[in-house]
Amino acid sequence: MNSRSLQTTIVFLVIGGILALALGGFFGSASRQFSSVLVEFQTWASSRYRGIQDFVTAPRDIVSLRTRNVELESQVSQLQTQVIELQQRVNETEILAALVSFSRSNPESTYKAASVIGRDPSPFLHYIIINRGSNDDIRRGMPVVTNQGLVGRVDAVIADAARVQLITDPASAINIYLQNAETDAVLFGSVTGDVSLDMISQDASVEPGDLILTSGLGGGYPSDMIIGQVVTMRSLEFELFQQATVQPAVDFTRLEIVLVITNFRPVDITPLVP
Amino acid sequence: MRNIVAFPLLLLAVILQSSIVSQVKLLSGYADLPLLILSAWALQKPVKSVWHWTFVACAMLAFVSTMPWLVLVFGYAGMVFIAQALQKRVWQAPLLAMFSVTFFGTLFQHLISFIVLRLSGTPFVFTDVMGLITLPSLLLNMLLSIPVYAFMRDLARWVYPSEE
């Protein structure tokens, strides 16, 4: 080893020893300042490195994020569709449960459930179209109900569908019985979809809230089917009969599933009418 | 042969009319999609098959509706007649013609319906029908007439390509 290399070795050992002592905290405040400068420098260097790394890798992340976002949006829309379908099923199940409950509580009749699939194209007429027809033993004149009350009766039938005249149709007239007043009357439909009572005897004492049932007169409907309640009365002394407005039990704007009473055969009394 | 498109198109129109359009009510009135399609078709210059389309529409509607078939035939035929008469006179302003046909066609159709149903014993009151059915239906028909006209104009170009 020549003198120059020996000199270099000694310088390195001295500086290394000073550094070791400084990092080991043997120089007090000078050592702390030195280490803090080092830490700050390392922090600065590290932050710069992260910045550069972000800059280099960011485009790839945006692409992957966008892809992931599209996937998640697709999943959300699928889940929303499922939620809507399940809500519809829940609604249908609730309606069907109510109808089953109704049919169990009225075991004297046999029922066939049908979905409402359309309405008459003309605004002058109040008819619905159901998805059961002569293939399901549906016949003309059969009454149609929901768990809430009377809907109407079958007017025309084809193989897989039938048309039902609602009690709100302007041409509809039903013989009814006012339970509390113990009197008969006739229920008429109207252009607006409202129903009203006419032909109520002037002697009858009818009050708002009185229950309206089918009387069965005329043979068009079975008796004792709920139609609705009296809302207001109109009684004028110079008229032959009283009139009343009616709140139907059935919400005709939200008809989805109905029951057709299949064991009722209407009686045609036309030949007996003088 | 492209006129055969009348069958699926009018069938679709009748189904939509029965299932959807009849549920979108304004008071007690709603739009009449087959009427709008026929009136827009009748106003297209190259179209020569409008009476065939009218017959098909009437047959389909008579199958679904309780309305007497004579009402449908006279109502729609009258509307087509009005459309053809107007098409010769105001052909340079097709939208004006469409509005006019929709207006007079709806009034004509409802007037015939009212008269026939009234004569058959349905207790209609004229003012109720006008206020609750005819005028709201008229408004809805006018609103729908523009998109229907645009669609039928494109369809006419497809059915009669050589005459454009």
Tell me the pLDDT tens digit for each residue of A220-235: 888 888 899 999 988 8
Tallying the residues shown for chain B, one arrives at 164
pTM: 0.74
More confident residue, A19 or A216: A216
Q: Which residues of A touch B (CB under 8 A)?
A: 117-125, 127, 129, 155-156, 163, 165, 170-171, 188, 190-193
Contact B64 A165 (CB under 8 A): no
- Mean confidence (pLDDT) of chain A: 85
Cα separation, B137 vs B158, in Å, equals 30
Q: Which residue of B has its CA nearest to A158?
A: B63
Distances (CA, A) of B54 to B12, B38, B44, B90, B115: 15, 7, 14, 22, 21
**Model confidence at A1, in pLDDT bands (50, 70, 90)?**
low
> What is the predicted pLDDT for the residue at A11?
78
Task: Average the pLDDT over each of A215-219, B63-67, B89-93 and give the range with the smallest value.
Answer: B89-93
For the domain spanning A111-266, the CATH number is: 2.40.10.340
Q: For chain A, which residues make up each domain, given as ranges? A: 3-59, 111-266
Average pLDDT over residues A256-268: 86
Cβ proximity of B10 and B60 under 8 Å: yes
B62 with B69: CB under 8 angstroms? yes
ipTM score of the complex?
A: 0.87
pLDDT tier at B109 (50, 70, 90 boundaries)? very high
CB contact under 8 A, B133 and A191: yes
Given a cut of 70, whether residue A35 has pLDDT beyond it is no
Q: What pLDDT score was predicted for residue A59? A: 65
pLDDT score for B140:
94
Q: Output the six-digit token pair for B148.
A: 């229907």
How far apart, in Å, are the Cα atoms of A88 and each of A91, A92, B1, B22?
Answer: 5, 6, 42, 21
* Residues A124, B113: C-beta atoms closer than 8 Å: yes
Mean pLDDT over residues A145-155, rounded? 91
Mean pLDDT of A204-219: 88
Q: Rounded mean pLDDT of B21-39?
A: 90
Angstrom distance (rounded) from CA A208 to CA B13 = 44
Chosen from A115, A117, A124, A187 to mutate, greatest number of chain B CBs within 10 A: A124
Q: Identify the H or E element spanning A23.
A: helix A3-23
